[in-house]
Structure 1
Amino acid sequence: MTALQKTALTLLALAAAACSASALSPSGSGAAAVAGPATREGQAKSKKTKVPANEKSAQDEYEKGAIALRYGLTDEAIRYGEQALAFFPGHFNALALLGSAYYTNGDYARSAAAYDEAAALKPDSAEIQRNLGLALFELKETEKAEAALKKAYAANGDAEAAFNLGKICFTEKRFDEALDYAVKSIQKDGKSARAYNLKGVILNQLGRYLEAAGSFQAGLVLAPDDIGLQINLGIAYLNANEPAKAKTVFEAVLPKIQEQVLRDQVENYLKSIKDAGK
């Protein structure tokens, strides 16, 4: 099961006294992620021995729940998952299903509990450890979240785990570690625009503005219409004392922005560039 990965499009505070622009939140590249269909992890190979009736009934209920979750019917998925556990407590797929459904519903405590039980059954499952980490992160249990995500990354170099470890390190101002994880995420999945966004945000925070601009540009190759990446690119140019390039980027993206808060921010950047040129 792949837990819903949330993203945000919010500007961090601008240090007005220093006239230095700050980058977008590293949570993502600006587009909210959508929960994918439920998937079975590690489907059991066919056995010659007869499957006990209660285990078969549990599997049947799980399969109904997986279909329900695929179509966004999270409450139905939860009902089927609970029924599966009633037939066969400790049914791994049912626990993973419940973890995903509860996460999608925003019930992170129950999601973490389900994933924790699943992790006890299969501690080497990178997917379960990653999703447990994501649920714990939403609960602000950062240390536990980081531990679970590190297990996921250690299992198979999971790109999503590395990305979220980078986010955690960034929020805790461990910028060198954050950058290392962002790079590892890109090395594993070079087609992730939000990983390039995260890398750029971290580089911006480290004062490596032109490198940050390069990372945002790489992200825009993958997601050319991403407004968050475009704004971040303009901010990086502004911080790098390249006002002409920043102006070009901001003027191009401004008509595409619908959120008034972001429009106001970009208009303020353009005004500051204009005032500085007087």
Structure 2
Amino acid sequence: MPDAGPIAVLPHRPLTVGELLDSAVLLLREQARVLVPIAFVLAAAEQFLVLQPLRLAAGTVPPIWWLTDGSFGAYWVLLTTGATAEAMIIALLGNPAARAGAAALLGRTARPGEVLHRAGGRWGATVLFALVVGGLMGVAAFCGPVWFVGFALLGAVAPALVVDRVSLPRVLPRATALATRSGMRAGMIRLLGYIGWWILRVGLASGVILGLSQLGLLDSRWALPVALLAWAAVNSIAYPALACLDAVLHLETRIRTEGLDILLARTPAGTPEPVVLAADR
């Protein structure tokens, strides 16, 4: 298990599954003041502006939004849109998470302004690929079980952009190649992380809402906005946690399959960080 502390978020060695999950949490804790507020804004927009109109059309009710007596077609559109939105948010958060993970691998803690700075951040490309990832995940979700394949394959998109700094045509091939190495190890761990956080999200959000209702502390007029805020709050932790998992998975996969740790040990002092971690050097 990584030692507590900012420079031990990602040791220079292959990690076990448990260590990877721990490292993702350590990275989130280190960068929470940057990632969580951004995630909350995006998650709130997702809940209030994107999903709620579709929930009304589908006839779902809080706190879990299961289909009751509404249209199954409208409910399927709701699920597809939700998969699209969360994939886009995780991809956007993947940019600062990947930059913070790269800094942690090099033995330092990235400053808040550093992980959000435009210089070297490739933000335009990140937004473009967030749209691409969202579209692909929407199509995959519409096809049902194909979602699992899509989610497993696309976790390294943001790290490939901002850490590996590959050209735009190579981003998706690079991401899928890393996800499928070692028997699709990275892809399966990403799915494991998502399922774990999905269980936590459902449990926490529904538990808060049902608990307040049972205690008589939630007026019926406020039930809907409180439910939306509860889901946004839970997702504001889950989404950056998954982005941090993508970051540490990406770097650990490069250590495991490309010898990145050996490359770092042989790098001359003073080499610029983007050059140190670039995939093609």
Q: TM-score w.r.t. structure 1 length? A: 0.26
Q: TM-score, normalization: structure 2?
A: 0.26
| Bigger radius of gyration among the two | 1
User: Which is helix-richer, 1 or 2?
Assistant: 2
